[in-house]
């Protein structure tokens, strides 16, 4: 987590990121890693920030660990980005340039240094998106790109502090004694993105030439609502899976939503809950109306399905194609604490044909396809399941 140590000298460098002090330079080519006497620390307080270098380096490291540990994703591949602080003179912005991260100091009047946890995770996650779906930075795909980085900021806050504030850059703004009316809670808001007077939270208000930061409110609203239903980490996992596996450069609000449903399915979460959050913002899911078609994993006969994670929220779902002439099935799992549901529909709302803990048998002669779902009261890992027909 910390800096590298070479005797008495410490360096802002670890296996994930490298820290550079721009010293107000706006050069994009500086690569000299900042160092300091370990016993004295790094003194770079400015504009109300006690040490932007420490903050940005620490939060970039934590963001990397979040992706690895929570979402089983190596976010930058083998690339080790530079985290460059003190960019420009009182520069009121931060950005990802396609290779590295840059953070300004703020102006000291309205803004602190832009090195808060969610701001660092936001810029870092533009690099994640670039290496995953490479979402274009315009139109609907650009709005999704910005929203994903906003989401990552909240997930990183939760991972780092155990809670998040549902504000984008909430730590950035200064209480100005002379102009108290200028104080903002945040740059953007998740609970109601329209609170900033510029962002939208419904597709009906989207315009083709809209600033991508304001268009991000549509997916930010989805993320907020989904997090209320299944939690921030689970919601983020759906979007990380979508970004890695299903989104493309020109992904739209509609097919991005379908990709997120697929991402939820990959993780074992309820696609119906995700779908409802997208419908709330006017996304109709016309490209994936039949959610049963998204159930792509089959449970084959007499082949053990392994390495499942099962929990109250994480319910792996499988399609079972019933052979002609078969009347019954039985499914056995490796843990007696896992409940198995067999039913005619993928929907959790549908009545099951049978349910049982540890094993289940069901009469299926009248169906060509049935579905099996696995649930548990606590998270259980490395669950295996075996299907037999008779």
Q: pLDDT (tens digit, 9 = 90+) per residue, 365-376?
A: 999 999 999 999
130 carries an active-site annotation? no
Closest C-alpha among 216, 200, 371 to residue 298? 371
| Fold agreement (4-135, 295-389) | no
Give percent of the chain with pLDDT exceeding 90: 94
pLDDT (mean) for 282-290:
96
Distance, CA of 220 to CA of 190 (rounded, Å): 6
Confidence of residue 177 (pLDDT cuts 50, 70, 90): low
Domain 295-389 classification at class level: mainly beta
Contact 165, 185 (CB under 8 A): no
Average pLDDT of the chain, as a whole number = 96
- CB 265: neighbour CB atoms within 10 A? 22
pLDDT (mean) for 136-148:
99
Q: Which of 86, 112, 122, 123 is catalytic?
A: 123
Residue with token string 């994670």: 309
Two tokens at 386? 């075996």
Q: Which pLDDT belongs to residue 74?
A: 97
Distance, CA of 191 to CA of 216 (rounded, Å): 13
CATH no. of 4-135: 3.10.170.10
User: How deeply is 274 buried, as exposed, middle or buried, from its count of CB atoms within 10 A (0-12, 13-18, 19+)?
Assistant: buried
Q: Cβ neighbours of residue 300 under 8 Å, at least 6 residues apart?
A: 387
123 carries an active-site annotation? yes
Residue with token string 């709005």: 143
* All structural domains of the chain with their residue ranges: 4-135, 167-293, 295-389
Q: Which of 86, 122, 213, 346 is catalytic?
A: 213
pLDDT at 179 over 60: no
Strand partners, 332: 359, 386
Confidence of residue 183 (pLDDT cuts 50, 70, 90): low
CATH no. of 167-293: 1.10.390.10
User: How deeply is 323 buried, as exposed, middle or buried, from its count of CB atoms within 10 A (0-12, 13-18, 19+)?
Assistant: exposed
Two tokens at 249? 């450069």
Query: The pTM is what?
Result: 0.95
């Amino acid at each position: 987590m910390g800096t590298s140590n070479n005797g008495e000298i410490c360096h802002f460098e670890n296996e994930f990121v490298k820290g550079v002090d721009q010293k107000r330079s706006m050069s994009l080519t500086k690569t000299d890693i900042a160092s300091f006497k370990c016993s004295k620390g790094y003194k770079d307080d400015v504009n109300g920030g006690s040490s932007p270098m420490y903050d940005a380096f620490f939060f970039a490291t934590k963001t990397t660990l979040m992706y690895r540990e929570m979402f089983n994703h190596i976010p930058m591949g083998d690339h080790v980005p530079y985290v460059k602080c003190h960019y420009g003179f009182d520069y009121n912005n931060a950005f990802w340039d396609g290779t590295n991260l840059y953070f300004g100091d703020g102006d000291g009047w309205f803004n602190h240094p832009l090195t808060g946890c969610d701001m660092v995770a936001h810029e870092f996650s533009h690099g994640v998106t670039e290496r995953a779906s490479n979402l274009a930075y315009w139109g609907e795909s650009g709005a999704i790109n910005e929203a994903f980085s906003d989401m990552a900021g909240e997930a990183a806050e939760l991972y780092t502090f155990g809670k998040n504030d549902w504000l984008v850059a909430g730590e950035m703004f200064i209480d100005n004694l002379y102009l108290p009316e200028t104080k903002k809670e945040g740059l953007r808001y998740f609970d109601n993105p329209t609170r900033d007077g510029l962002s939208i939270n419904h597709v009906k208000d989207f315009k083709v030439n809209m600033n991508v930061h304001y268009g991000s409110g549509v997916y930010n609203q989805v993320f907020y609502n989904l997090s209320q239903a299944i939690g921030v980490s689970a919601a983020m996992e759906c979007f990380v899976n979508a970004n890695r596996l299903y989104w493309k450069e020109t992904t739209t609000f509609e097919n991005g939503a379908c990709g997120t449903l697929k991402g939820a399915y990959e993780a074992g979460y309820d696609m119906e809950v995700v779908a409802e959050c997208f419908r709330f913002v006017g996304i109709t899911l016309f490209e994936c109306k039949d959610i049963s078609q998204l159930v792509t994993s089959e449970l084959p006969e007499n082949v053990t399905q392994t390495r499942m994670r099962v929990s109250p929220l994480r319910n792996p779902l499988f399609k079972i194609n019933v052979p002609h002439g078969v009347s019954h099935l039985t499914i056995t799992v490796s843990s007696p604490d896992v409940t198995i549901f067999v039913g005619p529909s993928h929907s959790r709302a549908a009545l099951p044909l049978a349910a049982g803990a540890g094993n289940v048998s069901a009469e299926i002669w009248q169906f060509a396809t049935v579905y099996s779902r696995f649930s548990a009261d606590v998270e259980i890992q490395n669950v295996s399941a075996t299907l037999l027909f008779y």
